[in-house]
Amino acid sequence: GRKKVMQTLKSMVEQGLDQPREEQKDLIDLLVKELNKEGSTLTKAISLDLLFVLLFASFETTTQSITFCMNEALADHPEVLEELT
């Protein structure tokens, strides 16, 4: 899974590098602009890792937040937990 996603992201970044858009419309455009800046410390590898983390970290964060809230709510209301089990 990760390998395929990284290949897709790499293709998108390379397309942006080959054919940069004048108007920035998304994060890839912003990364391409930074990659093309002279003296930039951003590398293609770092930009790909950043895109991957942003894509998948938000999913995990949401899931973990909901789980945490449910655990807290059930801990504060053991009668509800008992009714559910």
- Spatial distance between the Cα atoms of 42 and 37, rounded to a whole number of angstroms: 9
pTM: 0.63
> Is 42 exposed, middle or buried (CB count within 10 Å of its CB: 0-12, 13-18, 19+)?
middle
pLDDT at 20: 87
Dihedral sign for Cα 75, 76, 82, 85, please.
Answer: negative
**43-46 long-range Cβ contacts below 8 angstroms, 24+ apart:** 44/10, 44/13
Per the structure, the count of domains in the chain is 1
Domain enclosing residue 73, as ranges:
2-84
- Kindly compute the dihedral angle of the four CA atoms of residues 78, 79, 82, 84, in this order, to the nearest 10 degrees: -100
- Percent pLDDT > 70 in the chain is 98
- Spatial distance between the Cα atoms of 62 and 83, rounded to a whole number of angstroms: 26
* 20-54 confidence digits (pLDDT tens): 888 888 899 999 999 999 999 999 999 999 999 88
pLDDT at 65: 81
CB 52 within 8 A of CB 6: yes
Q: Is 80 exceeded by the pLDDT of residue 70?
A: yes
